[in-house]
Amino acid sequence: MIFRLPTMLQTFSAGGNSLKIECDNLIIMKQTKELSEFQTYAGVVSLGAVAGLRAMMAPALLGYFTTRRANRNFADFTAPGNIALVLGLLAAGELVGDKLPDTLNRTAPLGLIARIASGALVGGFICRKQKKSIVSGITLGAVAAVAAAYAGENMRREISERTGIQSALLGAVEDAAAIGLGVSALQKL
């Protein structure tokens, strides 16, 4: 988007000396980051994987990046009210809840549905903002979430069984991996 302003004349003076600046046209451009399809879809898959590991983490990170980092590419993701704060609180609650012994498996129907919805949401939103196929974004985000949910659950169980490391400790490592992957992906978008 380009805005053109009419001719401007500005005079600055300091102690008897003056400087006159004249501009025929002042052009102000709104910058948006144009990404290749590969970059966009790699970001979608990465955030979909984050959603598979922690259902609320992907939308919470996207909300954080849109409000705190002034990322204009995604500015309307959290436009209504304090959605970013709510998403952050939900993600924090999920981080705590994941360590509790009675927490359902992420591949149980309700947990898997939440992860699919989360991956699809962020995937569709990113693709819409990057003017790429929304259907592809929704699909890739959802598929990556399912793959990461099963992979994360199986890896955590196997490592715990083989090494004797408590599942809650492995969950904290998984939290850090999910946050790191999400932040890395969003910094590139």
Per-residue model confidence as pLDDT tens digits over 53-108 = 999 999 999 988 877 655 555 555 555 557 778 888 899 899 998 888 888 889 99
Three-state secondary structure call for residue 99? coil
DSSP string across 158-183: HHHHHH---HHHHHHHHHHHHHHHHH
Say how far apart CA 57 and CA 175 lie, in whole Å: 9
Confidence check: pLDDT of 24 > 90? no
Q: Which residues contact 172 (CB under 8 A, 6 or more apart)?
A: 99
- Where do the domains of the chain lie? 37-188
Per-residue model confidence as pLDDT tens digits over 100-144 = 888 888 999 999 999 999 999 999 999 998 899 999 999 999 999
Looking at residue 86, what is its pLDDT? 83
Confidence check: pLDDT of 42 > 70? yes
Looking at residue 98, what is its pLDDT? 84
Model-wide pTM > 0.85: no
- Residue 130, phi then psi, degrees to nearest 5: -95, 5
Closest of 175, 172, 142, 170 to residue 157, by C-alpha: 170
